Amino acid sequence: MKFGGWIHHHRRSILFLIAILTLGGLITSFQMPTSLFPTVDFPRVVVSLDAGDQPPQQMEMLVTRPVEEAVRRVPGVTSVRSTTARGSAEISVNFDWGLDMASSTLQVNAAMSQISAQLPPGTVIQTRRMDPTVFPIIAYSLTSATVSPTQLRDIAEYQLRPLLSGINGVSRVQAIGGALEEFQVAVDPQKLSARGLSADDVSRALAASNVINVVGRLEDHYKLFLVMADTRLQDEQQIRKTIIASGANGVVLVQDVAQVTRSAVPQWIRVTADGRDAVLLSIYQQPGSNSIQIAQDVKDQIQQFQGQLPKGVNIANWYDQSQLVTASASSVRDAILIGIGLAAIVLLVFLRNLKITLIAIVVVPAVLATTVVLLSLLKLNFNIMTLGGMAAAVGLIIDDAIVMIEHIVRRLHQGQDDIAAGVMNAAREFLRPLIGSSASTLVIFAPLAFLTGVTGAFFKALSITMASGLFISFLFTWLAVPVLATRLLTQKDAHSEDHGRLTTWFHARYTVLMQRLLQRPLLILLMIVPLAVAGFIGFQKVGSGFMPSMDEGGFVLDYYTEPGTAVTETDRLVQQVEAIVRNNPNVQTYSRRTGTGLGGGISEPNHGDFFVRLKQGKRQPVDVAMEQIRARIDREVPGIHIEMAQLMEDLIGDLTAVPQPVEVKIFSADPARLPEMAKKIAAVVGKVQGVVDVKDGINPAGDALQLHIDPLKAAREGLDPAAVARMLSDSLGGNVATQIIEGVKAVGVRVWLPQAQRQTDTDLGLITLRAPDGHLVPLKRIASMDTLTGQAEISRENLKQMVAVTARISGRDLGSVIADVKTELSKPDMFPQGTYYQLGGLYEQQRIAFKGLMTVFAAAAVLVFLLLLFMYESFLMAGVILFTSLISVSAVFVGLSLTGIDLNISAMMGMTMIIGIVTEVAIFYFSEQQEVLHTTDRIGALIEAGKNRMRPIAMTTLAAILTLLPLAFAIGEGSEMQQPLAIAIISGLLVQLPLVLIVMPVLYNALNRSKG
């Protein structure tokens, strides 16, 4: 039995299988995990180190360098970058793409364990693997005018955190802001001295009085009892009554020498929401989990918990990633429906048959649903890349069905009594060109599987989605379309009028044009040369970027005050920024952090950030809102420096270590030159048009009061420098002597000096220290004090010290800005001997991405040529088809230039795909030409093939353009990610028809004639 007969015999099984797959896809689509980004293992591990308050130079020598050298030995490490500040350091360890990052993280942890003994005592090491889940997916704020900050923090920490942590897919719930409760014991040095006691005695007494010990077991009354001695402190009154010492003169209680109060843990951060002090609750997801489901479950739990909140407590949502994900999914759904509808109109206009149109259209949802099943088997989820890939693939999916059904109908119109036999013969006849055309598009995606970097991480999901859809489209077109045609088409359809008057008119004009051009092939240059020139001009004018810009409905605003600015002064300045943000008509809500940040990392009290959420619905674009706020802050709030970015740009930057588009890394053999050079380069970069938010990379910590303890003077008083430092630490920072259990929380008991005795630098000199013999020694007697100007953070890359000047871009493309920056930096005498620079930031990621995509482009061209050679065994025919595909790329640059879209990685994906799309149509043309060649001469075959393929090529081209139009117009949120890809493909499709039907045959005939 021939294969056509087999398909006809098993037509019911085939249709049932397709129906099952379609139904399975619909069910799977409701169960697939959904997130904003693909699940990606970024090859970066961050090691955070905290070693108290050591100066940066000492921190670098004792902590950063040993850790750098240790992690550099981990297999797969490509580079190590570190930032060292006062008492803390952050080391970014970058690996090769494609490694198992869970294993690499364990190896980094092992390296940390091996050297932990060499680090200063008390050094805290934290290792975290970077992936898109480092930012929260949904966040809430708790505010109140009546409930205290400590109560708000307790609600968040001990009620909401456990409640939300149990939700499936949640990795952690973080609460910041508010205040942590503690008991504070403010000791009076004079009273202690009068009783021969010290603050240490108070701490020891409190710790000794707050214990529970098992002292033994006792068997009595037929039971075995555990005997416990419980002297735990319960409340503030018991702290006051704690005995410090006893003797002949009686007992000394804590209340005799100290004031005990219930207060809050000292903190140097400030957190607000919509202008009010707040506790922020951030929910993070596990990799691969369902963002939309998590967000819905969180909302449900919060809604149920509302009734348990104390009166006057307000809980509000200030960030919800699922809104963008849902909006993106809705945009994709709308784009697919609009595209299918427009394609149906095209088919109806050309074929004038509702049943034929229905056969072609019904394939699309079936293919998309089955694609979902395949994506699920490949462990992919719904995200902006897979959803965008499905929307972009609709036009290509419907192409296969259109050309197959058109070929079947044309063959039926040529006269066929047996509909089933006619359909199957036409399908069998069309199988070879269908395989070739589908393969020409699929081979384009093969090199994309080897892409690395951010491009591979994000666009591999899009490539897999489109390739899966196109492969399934081929199978369904091959199997389902003929079966549906045999079931639905009748003799009436077979004998209906094939060509209308318009088609006949086009065929006549095409015949005249081709006869003239085939005789005078040089005239074809009138089409090729202008297109090539226009493409070159477009290439010169089009800007270049990295990721497509997308209106995410919110942005991050980072701010910096002058180094060393107190938290209260920073807060005063930032309140003015809050007023500007709050008064912007586009802003819905915001949250603000001072002394900490949304993404964690090293932070000083003079640094913080906002997350600003814009209104949904009708409003100005996000970049307009950002520019309005930037302009007002620059004009109205002197003394504060800001930089802004949308969350995705900031996230990708954080995942790859540097969030800014422009980064100039300055290295020097003499590190002392770096600060001066950084300021010089920052001034130069700041003058480049389009550059904003310039930072010179010099980040000094605040000023310090440096105490010089004289060992000789201290020894005369019976003290040593270590003891002095410890007593000062207890006096200023306090000593948490013990903790009291209150319900579900532990409340610390801090022993220190009263605030009135530790407010100013004069107070510092008057602090009294108790010598071993009991006498009191003022600090100024044994130590001198001076002010130390804030020391800058130390940045290193691959064990070399450097300074990174960074900037963001507004109103220009990345490529042109970097070109101007390079021009400025290449001027004579810009860098002295022994000093050099390297460019980094998102530009470096763009450079890596473009290099990889150009390799993919070349590989795709080679694979297409190989496929054509395999099909036709003719270098001439393969070369002509490839040339036609490549010349169509010129239209991509014209389209991008006219629409003002940058040449970014999305546009380059579309440019690469155009090669396969044009090749697909060229294969349809030459397959017909080879068939017709059996009955006529070469020129006649070229013209007849063009007439026969004119209608299907016009239909597929128009249908593909119309299905991509919703993406090209960026209709709906999230569609901007695929907009450059859609515009690139549409631009190539616009020239596809004349290139394939006119240029390609004339070029082939001319070269064939010259060869002959």
Amino acid at 597: G
Q: What's the predicted TM-score (pTM) here? A: 0.82
Euclidean distance between CA atoms 398 and 428, whole angstroms: 19
pLDDT at site 255: 92
**The pLDDT of residue 1 is above 70:** no
Residue 10 has pLDDT above 80, yes or no: no
Q: How far apart are CA 698 and CA 687, in angstroms?
A: 19
Q: Measured in whole angstroms, how far is the alpha carbon of residue 512 from the centre of its chain?
A: 55
Interatomic CA distance for residues 795 and 802, integer angstroms: 6
Name the residue among 540, 463, 470, 542 with its Cα closest to residue 856: 463
- Residue 170's identity, in one-letter code, is V
Place of tokens 């900037």: 807
> Amino acid identity of 987?
S
Output 37 or 867, whichever has higher pLDDT.
867
**Lowest mean per-residue pLDDT among 67-76, 138-147, 908-917:** 908-917
The count of residues in the chain is 1012
CA dihedral 158, 162, 163, 164 (to 10 degrees): 120
Confidence of residue 58 (pLDDT cuts 50, 70, 90): confident
Q: What mean pLDDT is predicted for residues 222-241? A: 90
Q: What is the pLDDT of residues 759-775, one digit of tens each?
A: 888 888 888 888 888 78
- Three-state SS for 237-252 is HHHHCCEEEEECCEEE
State both tokens at 571: 């807060």
Q: Are 335 and 982 in contact (CB under 8 A)?
A: no
Q: Within its chain, how far is the Cα of 651 from the centroid? A: 4
Please state which of the ranges 642-651, 730-739, 751-760 shows the lowest mean pLDDT. Answer: 642-651
The backbone region for 505, taken as left when phi is positive above 0, alpha when psi lies in -120 to 50, beta otherwise, is alpha
- Of 121-125, 465-469, 498-502, 544-548, the range with the lowest mean pLDDT is 498-502
CA 506 to chain centre: 50
User: Span 147-167, mean pLDDT?
Assistant: 92
Identify the weakest region by mean pLDDT among 265-279, 413-427, 536-550.
413-427
- pLDDT over 80 (residue 224): yes
Q: Residue 216: what are its φ and ψ, rounded to 5°?
A: 155, -170
Q: Across the strands, what pairs with 44?
A: 94
Cα angle 944-948-952, degrees, rounded to a multiple of 5: 150
pLDDT tens string 344-389:
888 888 877 788 888 888 888 899 999 999 998 988 888 878 888 8
The 10s digit of each residue's pLDDT in 611-624 is 999 988 788 888 89
pLDDT band at 793 (very low <50, low <70, confident <90, very high): confident
- Rounded Cα–Cα distance for residues 763 and 241 (Å): 29
Choose the most confident range, by mean pLDDT, from 329-338, 694-703, 857-866: 857-866
Instruction: State percent of the chain over pLDDT 90.
Output: 21
- Return the pLDDT at 3: 59
* 414 contact partners, CB below 8 Å, separation of at least 6: none
pLDDT at 67 over 90: yes
Residue 4 has pLDDT above 80, yes or no: no
Q: How confident is the model at residue 415 (pLDDT cuts 50, 70, 90)?
A: low
How far apart CA 175 and CA 282 sit, in angstroms, is 6
Domains in the chain, start-ordered, CATH in brackets? 44-130 (3.30.70.1430), 134-180+267-324 (3.30.70.1320), 352-497 (1.20.1640.10), 499-541+874-1012 (1.20.1640.10), 554-701+793-846 (3.30.70.1430)
> What is the mean predicted confidence (pLDDT) over 438-453?
79
The band of 499, judged by pLDDT with boundaries at 50, 70 and 90, is low
- Point out the least confidently predicted range of 483-492, 548-557, 672-681, 897-906: 483-492
Span of 464-473, 700-709, 837-846 with lowest mean pLDDT: 700-709
Strands (E), 731-875: 735-742, 745-752, 768-770, 776-778, 783-788, 794-797, 800-809, 835-840
Band (416; pLDDT cuts 50, 70, 90): low
- Beta pairing, strands 181-187 & 745-752: parallel
Arithmetic mean of pLDDT, 602-609? 77
Run of H or E including 103: helix 101-115
The residues that bridge with 377 in the sheet, in sequence order, are none
* Residue 454 predicted with pLDDT over 60: yes
Q: Using pLDDT thresholds of 50, 70 and 90, give the confidence band for residue 500.
A: low
Is pLDDT larger for residue 39 or for residue 696? 696
- pLDDT of residue 140 exceeding 90: yes
* Percent residues over pLDDT 70 in the chain: 96
- Say yes or no to pLDDT of 676 above 80: yes
Using pLDDT thresholds of 50, 70 and 90, give the confidence band for residue 601.
low
What is the per-residue pLDDT for 832?
87
pLDDT score, position 315: 92
The C-alpha angle with vertex 22 and arms to 20 and 25, in degrees rounded to 5, equals: 110
Q: In this predicted structure, what is the pLDDT of residue 23?
A: 93
Report yes or no: 1002 and 938 within 8 Å, Cβ to Cβ.
Answer: no
Q: Using an 8 Å Cβ cutoff, are 261 and 184 in contact? A: yes
Nearest to 644 by CA among 705, 698, 580: 580
Buried-state track 122-134, b at ≥16 Cβ within 10 A, e below 16: ebebebebbbbbb
Q: pLDDT tens, 819-829?
A: 899 988 888 88
In this structure, the dihedral spanned by the alpha carbons of residues 794, 799, 801 and 804, taken in order and rounded to 10 degrees, is: -80
pLDDT digits (tens, 9 = 90+) for 906-963: 888 888 888 888 888 898 888 888 888 888 888 888 888 888 888 888 888 888 888 8
Give the pLDDT band of residue 493 (cuts 50, 70, 90): low
pLDDT at 361: 84
Q: Give burial (CB, 10 Å; 0-12/13-18/19+) of 750.
A: buried
pLDDT of amino acid 165: 92
Mean pLDDT in the chain? 85
pLDDT at 280 over 80: yes
CB atoms near residue 111 (< 10 Å): 21
